[in-house]
Amino acid sequence: MADYFLNIHQLKNYIDGKWIEGKQFIPVINPATGKKIVNVPLSSEETVDYAVSSAKRAQKDWALVPAPKRAEIIYDVGTLLKERKETLARLLTMENGKILEEARGEVQEGIDMAFYMAGEGRRLFGQTTPAELKDKFAMSMRVPVGVVGIITPWNFPIAIATWKAFPAIVAGNAVVWKPATETPMMAYELAKIFEEAGLPPGVFNVVHGSGAVVGQRFVHHPDIRVISFTGSNETGRMIAGECGKQLKKVSLEMGGKNAVIVMDDADLELAADGIIWSAFGTSGQRCTACSRVIVHENVKEKLEERLLEKIATLSIGNGLDETIRVGPIINKASIEKIKSFIEIGKEEGAKLLTGGYELTGEQYKNGHFFAPTLFTNVTANMRIAQEEIFGPVVSIISVKNFTEAIEVNNSVTYGLSSSIFTHDVNQVFRATRDLDTGIVYVNAGTTGAEIHLPFGGTKGTGNGHRDSGIQALDVFTEWRAVYVDYSGKLQRAQLDVE
């Protein structure tokens, strides 16, 4: 790893198969140590324009490459990701902070997505269907959209990009990607891998920089035909409005306020393990993180005892140390946001059971760390139970029965993930019917999506599209209906039907 950084002090953009120097830079900081990793360019609108024109030109030829051949390159990308999994995971932990085990899991998601989408090159199914007139053939087929603009957050720096870029490329589009400036190393590594796998120049491009300049130019560039965005609700809403005015297709994956429901027949030990993993993994900085526990009043105290016991055993620190279970918070601004919610919770009358403070001891002094936090006696309408905090903070809400649990779960503006712990099969099926979220888990926490299923949420979490799964192809393709009349005469639909 040390050798790696001897060679790289400044990242470059990757455009048209070339590595393009930046002019202005900002440092990328390891959130566990406060040390600079590398400089990342703050690119200009002109650089975006160059990348888009390269992508537009490259896409024309790429769309003519047979999809199974396009997919072979994605397969080779998967093989390279697999070979480099450990190096990538270590870099990911350094730039993002998540513990090594989770970083390996995130790279694995990219590998899984590559092999899954490589298979899609031989499917990309359309439909044939009877025509209503004699001697006429009808079918529907997917066609690429053109140039795709991908905008991603720092909390899953490689997985989310693969959810978007791989289906887009297999479907015959060209990609221009703006990663988050906090976590650009994964973009650099993925671009190198695409280059080595032999992707033609211009099909995959990376432009580093701020949301305000690079992101906004993506949104407003007339040749970017679809924006696929993952990030905060505020940014997503704004992008949706701007794309709406241009009639530009936009797919949004945004925040969550995900709950674990624990019924009074649940295996409490299992439920507590599920809550700890989904609430404090990635220090609560996952869009699917559990930030509410909705517990049946009969088992509230017992569950709280178990959670407190388990929290006391969590080791917090630099995720590169394999003994650490909870890593840092991404930056100072996030720490301040979490702290402000601790004050809000106290003012609202919630009871702090544990945590609620930034860790400042000797081993934490150069990074950003926050103690795993439990609030109890929270009511469903409190701000700490409604708003996304994006940190290791859980609100415990007690309910009297199943119906109330579902109501509380659905009372937030978000709809990403939910979970229920129960052995009652009737409650299981009612929950899968009634929980208003895009993802539902039974007897597992709120995290752990698999790449061949659709990923995304209802209500304020998104705008109806999905990442991953075959559903992702709907974002990156248009449907074309094709009619072939082989009757040799004019046949008019609806009019000439006998």
> Which residue ranges make up the site for ligand NAD (CB under 6 A)?
151-156, 160, 178, 180, 211-212, 215-216, 219, 230-232, 235, 238-239, 253-256, 287, 388, 390, 416, 461, 467
Q: Where do runs of H (alpha helix) occur along 121-232?
A: 159-170, 185-197, 216-220
What is the SS3 assignment for 306? helix
Q: Retrieve residue 310's tokens.
A: 């388990």
Residue 358 bears catalytic tag? no
Q: What does DSSP say about strands 417-421 and 414-415: parallel, antiparallel, or unpaired?
A: unpaired
| Rounded (5°) CA angle 129-135-137 | 30
**Complete edge-to-edge strand list for the sheet that includes strand 373-376:** 351-354, 373-376, 393-399, 290-296, 258-262, 417-421, 439-442
Smallest separation (angstroms) from ligand NAD to the CB of 350: 22
**Smaller CB distance to ligand NAD: residue 151 or 268?**
151
Smallest separation (angstroms) from ligand NAD to the CB of 239: 6
Q: Are 37 and 185 a contacting pair, CB within 8 Å?
A: yes
**Smaller CB distance to ligand NAD: residue 58 or 389?**
389
Residue 243 bears catalytic tag? no
Smallest separation (angstroms) from ligand NAD to the CB of 304: 26
Catalytic residue among 102, 106, 253, 388: 253
Q: Retrieve residue 262's tokens.
A: 């624990």
Catalytic residue among 287, 290, 304, 388: 287
Closest CA to 308 of 256, 268, 348, 272: 272
Closest CA to 456 of 313, 251, 208, 289: 251
What CA–CA distance (Å, rounded) separates 426 from 423?
9
63, 217, 206, 458 alpha-carbon torsion, rounded to 10° = -80
Smallest separation (angstroms) from ligand NAD to the CB of 312: 28
Smallest separation (angstroms) from ligand NAD to the CB of 123: 24
**Smaller CB distance to ligand NAD: residue 108 or 216?**
216
Residues 6+ apart with CB under 8 A from 94: 30, 32, 37, 185, 320
**Smaller CB distance to ligand NAD: residue 163 or 369?**
163
What CA–CA distance (Å, rounded) separates 169 from 167?
6
**Smaller CB distance to ligand NAD: residue 389 or 396?**
389
Q: Retrieve residue 157's tokens.
A: 């720096």
**Smaller CB distance to ligand NAD: residue 121 or 457?**
457
Where do the DSSP E strands lie in 245-357? 249-253, 258-262, 290-296, 351-354
**Smaller CB distance to ligand NAD: residue 175 or 416?**
416
Smallest separation (angstroms) from ligand NAD to the CB of 390: 6
Smallest separation (angstroms) from ligand NAD to the CB of 100: 20
What is the SS3 assignment for 282? helix
| Rounded (5°) CA angle 157-333-360 | 100
- Residues with catalytic annotation? 253, 287
